[in-house]
Structure formats: C-alpha cells, structure tokens
Structure 1
Amino acid sequence: METRVNGAAVTFRCSGALWLADVRMLIVADLHLEKGSSYASRGQMLPPYDTRETLRRLEAEVAALTPASVVLLGDTFHDRRSEGRLAGDDAERLRALAVGRTLVWVVGNHDADGPRALPGETADEIAVAGLILRHEPQAGVQPGEVAGHLHPAAKVRAPRGTVRRRCFVTDGERVILPAFGAYAGGLNVRDAAFAGMFVRPPLAGAVGAARVRAVGWRQLVGD
C-alpha cells in the first residue's frame, strides 16, 4: 500500500515493514527478539523459535528490496539480557544485515542501551526525508513522526464475524508501525492509548498475507 506521510512517499509492506523507496530505507519496529527465551526464564514455556522466524522475515524483506539502510525502530530485543541469549547463528544473521548497508538501532524502552556486541549505529531518533523516526510516539500533533511501541492492530466487523490484524495507522501526518516480531502482540487502535495523536480520523493499513488493506476509521471496532 503506497501513501504519503508528511509529504514523503512511503510503502506499507505486508510484512509490517515501512519502505522509503526514495532513500532505499527499510524500517521495522518492535522485533522483540528472544521474547520466547525471556518468558522461559520465568517459567512460562513458549516454543523457542520467535527470533528465528522474525529474522527470516526480515531477511526476506532485505533480499526483496536491497535497501541501502535498515532501521530497527526500537524494542529490537525483548529485554536487556536478550542479546546474551541469542544463538550464535542468529547473532551472525544480525551481523550479516550490516554488510553492504547501514544498520541503525533506534533505542526503545526494552533495549535502551542498544546492542553491545553487534554492528551498526545507535540513535535516539533519525531525521530523513521530512520524517522523524523514533521508537515511542510523542503526545500531541507530531508531523512527520514514524514510530512503533504501541503495536497497533485493527479489528474489523465482517459479515461472518470479526477479523483482527496487525496494522499501520496514519492520518497522513504521522504513522505508527505494527510490531514486526513473531511473538509481539497488538493493541487495538481504538484503545485510549491512541487518543489525541491524530489531527483527523486515521486510516488503518491492515496487514494481510498478500496485501495491506486500507480500512477507514468508521469500519474499525474496539475489543
């Protein structure tokens, strides 16, 4: 799905990634790598494949688009010990992402220190093409803001029931990205956490297997 945010041409990808074709920049938010192992350390056992699956999807986007830069928009790791729990081959896959391109780790609330032993640049936020890339959306009107953190999800009432999907949410001034991580949940865009962020009723870009579907605000329902 192609649209504009604060005048910049952007593409919402079915993977949940944002693509800036003019500068060849791929942006993904909230990978929450090693969330499964974090839960396991507290006695809640989950299949330990979330990092592998998340990186597989990210690698597929890199292969398809050959970006000049990849921006990890915060909460790339689920907690501050996640990097130490990475399997060796997964760490190598992250290192490979930095080969031949710029890799930027925007810090988030789960990984405020950034990576310790992995390549790439660390930043609080990035300004590019009239946009400001940061992890956590700021309150009030923020023209050009590209953020994650809230894990937006759209719930749509259909004739045969309701459908709930990860989504982008934008009013043309700013955009909040869906969580990219395999184990990352979603917060309904009708939740109060999104209130006051948009200058007009926003549009949801609901992520499907084959396309991102534009859904108007009136079609969205709460949980």
Structure 2
Amino acid sequence: MNTHGFTFHGARLAALPSGALHWSDEDMLVVSDLHLGKAARLSSQGGAQLPPYEAQETLSRLEADLAATGARRVICLGDSFDTLEIAAGFPEAEAARITAMQAGRDWTWIEGNHDPGPLELGGTHLREARIDPLVFRHIASDDSAEVSGHYHPKARLIARGRSLSRPCFLVDSRKLVMPSYGSFTGGLRTDSPTLSTLMGEDAQAILTGARPVAIPMPRRTTA
C-alpha cells in the first residue's frame, strides 16, 4: 500500500490513500466523518431516491484498511453516522459487519455534531480521547497536538489545464485535520476563509488517492 509517512508531535504517522490515518507504534487506525446512512436520510426527507450503497462501500474500504494495517485499535473521529436515528436503525447486515470489525479490537467512537451521543453498537463512546502525545476530537479547538475531523477538507488543483479536487489531510505545527472517510460526503476547500484561518502558515495538504502526496496547503490569494 502506498502511504505518506510524517511525524506529528513525535508520533510517527502514515496517511493512507483512503483517507485513514495509521499510527503503527500504537497499532491504531483513525478515520473520520464516515456519515453512514446519509443516502438513506436524504431519501427519507424527500430528496433523490439514492441506492443505499454508500455505507457498504465505506465499510468495505474500512475492512480493507484494517486488513492491510493489522490495526488492533480504532478511533472514529465523530459523524460516523449521519444522525443518531440512522445509527439506531442501521441495517442488520451492515451492523453485523461493524460488529465483526470490532471483534478483538479496542474501538472508540468520538462524538460528532451529527451523532452527539452514545451509539447502540459496541465500543467505547467518548467526547475526546487522549493518547500521549496526541488528543483526538471531532472539531478542532485551540489545543496543540490535536487530531480532528469535521471540515472534510479538499484541495483544488490545476493539472494539465483542468481543475481537480482531492480530499486531503491538513497538518501544521499544531493541528492535524482529517479528510472525510465516507463515500458520499461533500467537502470544504482549503482556500475557504474557514480553513485558511484555522491552519497555520506552515500547513501542508496531504492529498488522498492512489499515491498520497504532500503539497503546501492551497490558500486564498489576495490581490
């Protein structure tokens, strides 16, 4: 598997092509913003009648990443489900797949703004988790050595005269913001005022894809 290795506050990490983060010294895989059940929620609210394949695709990638890394610890950084109601009524077959992945693993669900409370599935449910030297939460704060999600960052690139958008990790001297792992999620461009303000001048964007690569974080330019 092609990965991009980097060190963040002394922790040796690897960005995976899928948007997962592997911390080999802690035998840990971190994913963020799966938004399982989003298609079902939109359909139930009178939107497009979307097939319920997004959850299956997301879970398949997670199964593959766990198999490739052999991780025995998992942290899901919030918004794992699109709503708490979706989580409570999650299809039996897909819930069974999650239960199978949890078997023999230390599994932590971090609360998100879409799923702000305990889930009925197994595992530990926390507002945030601290594993020295890092802290894991859903939305970035003022802490240093912080790993978070929420923003679904995407970098806009120009390649061969074409505009492309790629989900990405954002990392500076204080913060690491994860891309969305879900198969059916939007994103916030790195040159948005929100992300341009959040991230330091030294920030890099680690692009996901077949071969993750780090570039200076694309930002808004001023005339």
Mapping of residues 1-223 of structure 1, within 5 Å: 1-44=4-47, 45-116=49-120, 118-138=121-141, 140=142, 142-208=143-209, 210-217=210-217
Residue type matched to 1:7 in 2? G
Q: Deviations over 1:57-116 (max 9, x none)?
A: 000011111112011110000012112332111000111121111010001000001212
Q: 8 Å contact 1:156–1:220 — kept in the other structure?
A: no
Tell me how far apart the structure 1 counterparts of residues 84 and 200 of structure 2 sit (CA, whole Å).
35
Tell me how far apart the structure 1 counterparts of residues 58 and 220 of structure 2 sit (CA, whole Å).
28
Q: Which runs of structure 1 show a deviation greater than 4 angstroms over 4 or more consecutive aligned residues?
A: 219-222
Residue type matched to 2:212 in 1? V
Tell me how far apart the structure 2 counterparts of residues 221 and 12 of structure 1 sit (CA, whole Å).
25
Moved more, 68-77 or 152-161: 152-161
Residue type matched to 2:147 in 1? V
1:221 positional shift: 6.5
Q: 8 Å contact 2:55–2:183 — kept in the other structure?
A: yes
Residue type matched to 1:12 in 2? A
TM-score (norm 1): 0.92
Tell me how far apart the structure 1 counterparts of residues 33 and 117 of structure 2 sit (CA, whole Å).
15
Aligned-residue identity in percent: 34
Please tell me the root mean square deviation across aligned C-alpha atoms, in Å: 1.5
1:129 positional shift: 3.2
TM-score (norm 2): 0.92
Tell me how far apart the structure 2 counterparts of residues 35 and 198 of structure 1 sit (CA, whole Å).
28
Q: Deviations over 1:108-127 (max 9, x none)?
A: 000001212x1100011111
Which stretches in structure 1 are left out of the alignment for 5+ residues? Answer: none
Secondary structure at 1:22 match in 2: helix
Residue type matched to 1:25 in 2? M
Which stretches in structure 2 are left out of the alignment for 5+ residues? Answer: none
Number of positions where the alignment pairs a residue of Structure 1 with one of Structure 2: 217
Secondary structure at 1:136 match in 2: coil
Secondary structure at 1:179 match in 2: coil
Q: 8 Å contact 1:51–1:182 — kept in the other structure?
A: yes
Q: 8 Å contact 1:156–1:221 — kept in the other structure?
A: no
